[in-house]
Structure 1
Amino acid sequence: MTVRSRILVLLSAVVVLAGVALASVLHASARADRRDHTQAGGPKVTSGEVTLTAPGRMVFRNMAWGPHRDELTTVPASDPSGPRTASGVKCLRFYAASGTGVCLQAVHGPVSDTYRALILDARLRTTAHYDVPGIPSRARVSPTGHFAAWTAFVGGDSYAGTNFSTRAAIADTRTGKLIPSLEAFRIIKDGHTYRAADVNFWGVTFAADDRTFYATLATKGHTYLVRGDLRARTVTTVHTNLECPSLSPDGTRIAYKKRVPGLPKDAPWHLYVLDLRTMRETPLAEPRSVDDQAVWRDAHTIVYALPGDYGADLYQVPADGTGRARRISSEAVSPAYLGRPRSPA
């Protein structure tokens, strides 16, 4: 074979390989495009208007792959797996009440990411923003919308172990005043002022009086439910072995995760509900370990996230310990159920 023939064969092979590669790319692009628009058989997601004053709707972070991944999206609360309307606003964690939202975001930099908390109005416009000193973890808004809280990991990135540090902050959404850390509050434990270098707080949840809140306090290898007073700037221990509390709509019960002996170290929790009047604990009918701050859909139903194929899926379970858990929405996390604005109790 002459040199000219060899060159022609080589060029032909290159052309064939280039054609195969181009066809593969076009095929993959077409599949990706279809996936972006159909979410690979999952929920349909389209751009549209999202507000925080539409009773009967759920707003959450969309985890489905495609152009709207990580955006706040909305669906009817009665059809949580239905078509989604995407807002264009991206959040890692989110919550809303009475037309006010809190969105914890990553700010991508040339070397590393930083994080911030945005206070959002009913049309998802930013009214205030605050630096967050670590990886966002939990977010809540008071029933009146007057206060927002968030938790971040400033050391470590999981609640399963003991070698981590958190920072819980509360902002007044009307004045902009920030309490950068609950560690500034006086701790009352067993009736006495308590101080320790290893104190951590996380998982704030608010009552409707614009004064009372609950949170997790960790110290000396133990966790406690604490009741906080925003005016007195105190937190008082209420119960033991309780993490990520979520106050019921009527303010009488706490949904939470509890460490159960015998479970794996990386998945040690079971969901419970605590009656604040009797201190009676009720285990819920979710057999898996839940690492989330659950949400009350209503007075009878708890909603929470579990790991899924695209990050997380949402499940619900009865709050009285009966029934069974069931998935209500795939590729979703950080739900907030919208209702009518509430005034301080």
Structure 2
Amino acid sequence: MLNTKRIKVIFVIQFVLFYGLVNAQIKPIKDSIKTIGYHDTKTFESPSQNFIPLILQTHHGLLRFGNQNSYALLPDGSHLSHKVVQAKGIDIKNAKLSESRLAFTQLLLMKYMAETYKDLDKKSFTVQASSMYKNEKNSLQAQNQLLKLANAISSVKLINKYFCNPKTNDCNYTSENYYRVARHILPWGGSGANEFKKLNSYTSYVSQHLETLQNWSASLFTDNTIDAYMVLTSRLGTYDFKNKGFWLSLHSSRSSWFFIRFYNLIPKTAYERKLTSSNTSSILYKMPAHIAEQFSEKTKMIYMVFKIKVLLKGIDPYRTGIKSSFSLDDSIIELYNTEDLKTKIGEISIDENLTVK
């Protein structure tokens, strides 16, 4: 009888310990599944509820260009599972940030197309032809750009009103079920709309909303400069024992690239010119071998952060985009090991000690 009681007591103790251990393991995971808010962002408020606010990522309070934070990439280079991404609301957040980047670029493009927009035909569509006068070409270009901008920046209410055809579409878009895709441009009046509905949607949008959009675009960066940070990423390769460091690529990037490219850098010093040389592809992050071994076991990705000043120059006629360049505002490249740029792990100085290849 005594042995039976002792066995029962031992079983109860084991069960309690096991239950407590399981709870201890599960609780942190459960607590970590929270909807991610919009931290480290700057919002350009829209002038009315007819347009979406523009939410852009920042670093140290300045706009973040180059590689963006996906909120799903782990320090070892792997990604959070799709289940966790959905549970945290990361997929929705990234969709909204992507919408903002698209709308921001198109709104800024409108700013520098002000002269082109003066020839916009507001009453009818301009048809492309083999031979066109300059004002006709301008009108066609402005109409095409306005269609992209309206798709990108209009509220869901306006999307339902101007870009949805009840005969072929559900036309019940909400902010939860409508996601804008850069390559998928809805036509005026919606898919399958006849020429009367298309023109009515276009002329109505122009008369009701064009002036507001033009005023908003004109208010952006009135001095044609943007103080910002550019983020480049590089995988940590093998250690170079001869040069005592890791080579970091200046040309690798991920799909979430935004706004400006590294080749737009205008160097101001001889050391900066080393970065823009056609023979330069990587810079050396110097580190003693005895430190590098442990460092390489923990770190797989490096995020290089440059403080920059962007100069907006107008329209690039060859790429139908914004013509821009940038200069460095600091001779220090900050290094981080996670895409949220929370933990700084080192620096590279752009001076006589800079090593490139």
> Do the structures match in fold with TM over 0.5?
no
Give 1 or 2 for the bigger CA radius of gyration.
2
> Normalised by the size of structure 1, how large is the TM-score?
0.29
Higher share in strand: 1
